[in-house]
Amino acid sequence: MGASVIRRTIATPVFLSLLLVAFAVTAWAVGSRPFNQTIIDIFLQVIFVVGLWIFVGNSGVISFGHIAFACLGGYVAAWTTIKPMMKGNAMPGLPDWLMGMEIPFWAAAGLGAFWAALWALIFGLVLMRLSGIAASIATFAMLAMVNSIYSNWESVTAATSSVVGIPIVRTVWPYLIAAVLAVFVAWAFAISRHGLALRAARDEPTAAAASGVNISRMRLIAFVISAAVMGMGGTLYAHSIGVVTPDTFYLGLTFTTLSMLVVGGMGSLSGAVIGVLILSSLIQVLRWLEAGVQVGASTFALPGGVQEIALGVVMILILMFRPAGIMGNSELNLPNRRSDKAGQPAPTRVL
Amino acid sequence: MSVLHADKVSVAFAGLKALAEVDLTVSSGQILGLIGPNGAGKTTLVNVLTGFQAPTSGAVLLDGAPLTGLKPHQLRRRGIARTFQGGRLFKDLPVLDNLEVTGVGLGQSRRSAIAEAEAMLDWIGIADLAPRIAGTLPYTDERRVAIGRALMGKPAFLLLDEPAAGMSAQESRDLAALIRRIAADMGCGVLLIEHNVGLVLDLCHDIVVLDSGAVIETGDPAAIRASEKVRHAYMGTAAETDLPILEAGLEVAE
């Protein structure tokens, strides 16, 4: 039966991955550099939102702090991939072994994931004892703490100055692979016994505890895994623009990531991915319109700032009319077969 | 043979005594009834026995060893299972997954938890409910699913908090048959909290009567039936004639 859990839900990550592949192929076919960068940004945003979903979607605890893990990952890129000579100028306080390190971006991404997961374990041991709004506020405090440390530890992070010289990776494929990896990690967690126990605890914590579920431990596991995905995303983000500052990974990115999750729907992995794809596409279209579109002899352009206003309107409309997000609790899956035999849950159910 | 024992358990909420030095013992294979008027402290006692409420004084002992400080999930893993008033099913999950959660909570893989869940639903006689979303079930099925969920992993003790509330006479009889099988076939020690006194007198080997947080009577069904104190607690007066509530099969108005 464990195998059948896999069979009956594998369609979800496969569909989502195909969607991402379609975006990547479009970027490759169009071949324009700005469009390529847009698709890379979308993949990075997918990684962040899916990483956040692993924790928020399964535990039901809203986290305002996950971008802190992206920050940890971003600085791993700075510490391990910048040429040693440049590193010495910007961050003279690094230990010798780190100063001399120059590893490829994908190895840095792995290290970024590990570094973020390690700190998630340390923070999580304390934070996961809290629940509800207290836990959410504590994650926000964590974000502020990490930002404050990285903004002030001059010799290791160059404080608030930009750390430049991170090798830039311009092709979409590594970002596509990482986004697909994030989707599969999220799916694997969701169908695992820990994922099931955590969703049960999200809906009925009292009954879950009476069913033997150690809720804070399940939350901690989800927290660490989701932090690893965020860390990987943070490292790759640094490689996409070649520079990091602490404020790259602060309130702005936190807000964007949370809104995309809210719009797509926290209840499902498909919601997380689709929220990113829809909102990012919308942002892009509005950007083009702001830049001006040739219609016959005249140029049509929206006034600047319409983009932000439109996003705000979309978010409010979703919250008013579809508070569970575009996808609600349902996943992209194979069409429903009414004759499902006993033991096969109804198709709309999350994994 | 296992014994679950509440030893002089007291609970006070902001100075108000909810339980006062309550003693109670459940043994394997035995069905112990716990009755008493509303507010007598029955659910509070179940909460203490399952780790949801720490006693202000006294202790819960499992086979003589104190369980002080253990959390609900830890007590469940030691074989003390319970149900809740109102079911508290995972209402968005299918019935099968509701049982499966307990399996994985106890450390099983999803595969073996599903296998046991299927066997359990079959044993209770509700295998056809497996794919139904729990939130869509009628009342009585909800109760049986909750019992099935609590029985995953073959706990040594099962604490049932008003499982028959709102059931018809026939449904109560079916439930009684199930509870007998749980005690006899599984060797489970059952603590049955019920307002349906007829059901309790019919099913239980021994009965404990709580009133205002204190045990006012213990004994077998015959002794409880004859007890003046029990009548007094329920009716607020010592009646001369046999009370209707003490006739088997009748429900007590709350």
Q: How would you write the pLDDT of chain A (351 residues) with one tens digit per residue? A: 445 666 678 999 999 999 999 999 999 999 888 889 999 999 999 999 999 999 999 999 999 999 999 999 999 999 999 999 899 888 999 999 999 999 999 999 999 999 999 999 999 999 999 988 999 999 999 999 999 999 999 999 999 999 999 999 999 999 999 999 999 999 999 999 999 999 999 999 999 999 999 999 999 999 999 999 999 999 999 999 999 999 999 998 998 899 899 999 999 999 999 999 999 888 888 888 888 888 787 888 888 778 778 878 888 899 899 999 999 888 888 765 443 433 334 444 445
Token pair of B158, please?
A: 């099962």
User: What gap in Å lies between CA A35 and CA A284, rounded to an integer?
Assistant: 9
Beta pairing, strands B65-66 & B3-13: unpaired
Using a CB-CB distance cutoff of 8 angstroms, which residues of chain A are in contact with residue B108? 193
CA distance B96 to chain A (A): 6
What is the Cα A65 distance to its own chain's centre?
12
Domain membership of residue B39 (yes or no) is: no
Domain membership of residue B35 (yes or no) is: no
What contacts B254, CB < 8 A, 6 or more positions away?
B38, B195
Name the closest residue on chain A to residue B135, using Cα atoms: A203
Domain membership of residue B55 (yes or no) is: yes
Name the closest residue on chain B to residue A338, using Cα atoms: B131
Same domain, B8 and B74: yes
Helices (H) and strands (E) in chain B, counts: 9, 10
Same domain, B201 and B174: no
Same domain, B49 and B96: no
**Torsion angles phi and psi, residue A185, rounded to 5:** -60, -45
CA distance A159 to chain B (A): 44
CB contact under 8 A, A210 and B150: yes
Using a CB-CB distance cutoff of 8 angstroms, which residues of chain B are in contact with residue A208? 90, 101, 105
Instruction: Give the other-Cβ count within 10 Å of B209's Cβ.
Output: 25
Q: Which amino acid type is present at position A218?
A: M
Helix ranges (DSSP H) in A192-305: 193-203, 205-210, 215-241, 251-264, 269-291
CA distance A211 to chain B (A): 4
Q: What is the CATH number of the domain that holds B123?
A: 3.40.50.300
∠ CA B194-B88-B54, nearest 5°, is 70
CB contact under 8 A, A5 and B150: no
Same domain, B92 and B180: yes
Using a CB-CB distance cutoff of 8 angstroms, which residues of chain A are in contact with residue B111? 1-3
Using a CB-CB distance cutoff of 8 angstroms, which residues of chain B are in contact with residue A206? 52, 84, 88
Beta pairing, strands A293-295 & A298-300: antiparallel
Listed by start position, the domains of chain A span 2-248
pLDDT at residue A300 in the model: 82
Of the candidates A207, A210, A349, the beta carbon closest to that of B94 is on A349
H helix or E strand, kind and range, residue B9: strand B3-13
pLDDT in tens, B21-65: 999 999 999 999 999 988 899 999 999 999 999 999 999 999 999
Place of tokens 């007198």: B201
Domain membership of residue B199 (yes or no) is: yes
Crossing angle of the two packed helices B110-124 and A193-203, in degrees rounded to 10: 60
User: What gap in Å lies between CA A125 and CA A345, rounded to an integer?
Assistant: 34
Domain membership of residue B34 (yes or no) is: no
Could you say which DSSP state residue B127 is in? G
Same domain, B60 and B127: no
* Ramachandran region, residue B8 (left: φ > 0; alpha: ψ -120 to 50; beta: rest): left
Using a CB-CB distance cutoff of 8 angstroms, which residues of chain B are in contact with residue A215? 73
Same domain, B15 and B97: no
Domain membership of residue B36 (yes or no) is: no
Domain count of chain B?
3
The partner residues of B65 in beta bridges, in order of sequence, read: B62
Domain membership of residue B162 (yes or no) is: no
Same domain, B217 and B148: no
CB contact under 8 A, A2 and B111: yes
DSSP per position, A298-335: EEE-PPTTHHHHHHHHHHHHHHHH-TT-SSTT----SP
Q: Which domain holds residue B213?
A: 195-254
Nearest to A260 by CA among A278, A282, A280, A275: A275
Say what the pTM is.
Answer: 0.90
Q: How would you write the pLDDT of chain B (254 residues) with one tens digit per residue? A: 899 999 999 999 888 889 999 999 999 999 999 999 888 999 999 999 999 999 999 999 999 999 999 999 999 999 999 999 988 999 999 999 999 999 999 999 999 999 999 999 999 999 999 999 999 999 889 999 999 999 999 999 999 999 998 888 999 999 999 999 999 999 999 999 998 888 999 999 999 999 999 999 999 999 998 888 888 887 664 444 444 444 444 444 33
Name the closest residue on chain A to residue B71, using Cα atoms: A209
* Chain A residues touching chain B at CB-CB below 8 Å: 1-3, 5, 191-194, 196-197, 199-200, 203-204, 206-215, 329, 340-346, 349-350
Token pair of B43, please?
A: 């659910």
Task: Using CA atoms of A286, A232, A331, A7 in order, give the dihedral in degrees to the nearest 10.
Answer: 150
What is the Cα B140 distance to its own chain's centre?
16
Torsion sign across C-alpha atoms A52, A57, A63, A64: positive
CB contact under 8 A, A209 and B73: yes
Summarize chain B as % helix, strand, coil (round to 5): 40, 25, 35
CB contact under 8 A, B73 and A214: yes
* Ramachandran region, residue B60 (left: φ > 0; alpha: ψ -120 to 50; beta: rest): beta
Could you say which DSSP state residue A232 is in? H
Torsion sign across C-alpha atoms A50, A55, A59, A60: negative
Disruptive mutation site among A191, A193, A331 for chain B (greatest number of B CBs within 10 Å): A193
∠ CA B99-A347-B124, nearest 5°, is 25
Domain membership of residue B97 (yes or no) is: yes
pLDDT in tens, A74-115: 999 999 999 998 998 889 999 999 999 999 999 999 999 999
Rg (CA), chain A: 21
- CB neighbour class for A251 (10 Å; exposed up to 12, middle 13-18, buried from 19): middle
